[in-house]
Amino acid sequence: MSEPSRVPFDPLDPAAEWAPWRPSDKDPWSAKWAAHLYRRAAFGPTRDELREAVAAGLDATLEKLFATPKEPPGRPRVVFGPPPLNPMTGMPDVSGQAATLRASWLGRLIDGTEPAREKLALFWHNHFATGIQKVNDASLMEQQGEVVFRHALGSFRQMLKDVSRDPAMLVWLDSNQNVKAHPNENYAREVMELFTLGVGHYSEKDVREAARAFTGWHTLDGRFMFMKGEHDFGEKLVLGRRGTWDGNDVLRILLDQPACARFLVRKLYRFLVSETADPPDAFLAPLADAFRKSDYDIAVPVGAILRSKHFFSAHAYRQKVKWPVEYAVGVVRAVGVGVTGRITVNPYSLLGVLELMGQQLYAPPNVKGWEAGRSWLNTATVLARHNFAHALVNGMGDLNEYARRLNVRTFFPAVDPVAFLRRLDITEPAKVVDFYAELLLPGDCRPAVRQKLVAHIGDASPESDAFAQRCRDALFVLLTLPEYQLN
Q: What is the DSSP string of 387-445?
A: HHHHHHHTT-----HHHHHTT---SGGG--HHHHHHHTT--SHHHHHHHHHHHHSTTT-
Residue 468 in any domain: the answer is yes
Q: What's the confidence (pLDDT) of residue 469? A: 92
Q: What's the confidence (pLDDT) of residue 67? A: 87
Alpha-carbon span 381 to 460, nearest angstrom: 34
- What are the tens digits of pLDDT across the range 361-391? 999 999 999 999 999 999 999 999 999 998 8
* Sequence letter at residue 445: C
Domain that holds residue 347: 324-485
* Sequence letter at residue 189: R
State the Rg of the chain over Cα.
24
Alpha-carbon span 346 to 402, nearest angstrom: 11
DSSP assignments along 244-288, one per residue: ---HHHHHHHHHHSHHHHHHHHHHHHHHHT-SS----HHHHHHHH
Residue 171 in any domain: the answer is no
Residue 269 in any domain: the answer is no
Number of structural domains in the chain: 1
Residue 19 in any domain: the answer is no
Q: What's the confidence (pLDDT) of residue 405? A: 46
50 to each of 3, 47, 383, 438, 486, how far by Cα in Å?
26, 5, 28, 10, 18
Give 93's Cβ-side CA count (13 Å radius).
10
Beta-carbon contacts of residue 96 (< 8 Å; ≥ 6 apart): 83, 84, 405, 406
Residue 361 in any domain: the answer is yes
Residue 117 in any domain: the answer is no
Q: What's the confidence (pLDDT) of residue 349? A: 86
Residue 403 in any domain: the answer is yes
> Which residues in the chain come in under a pLDDT of 70?
1-10, 69-77, 79, 337-345, 396-415
Residue 43 in any domain: the answer is no
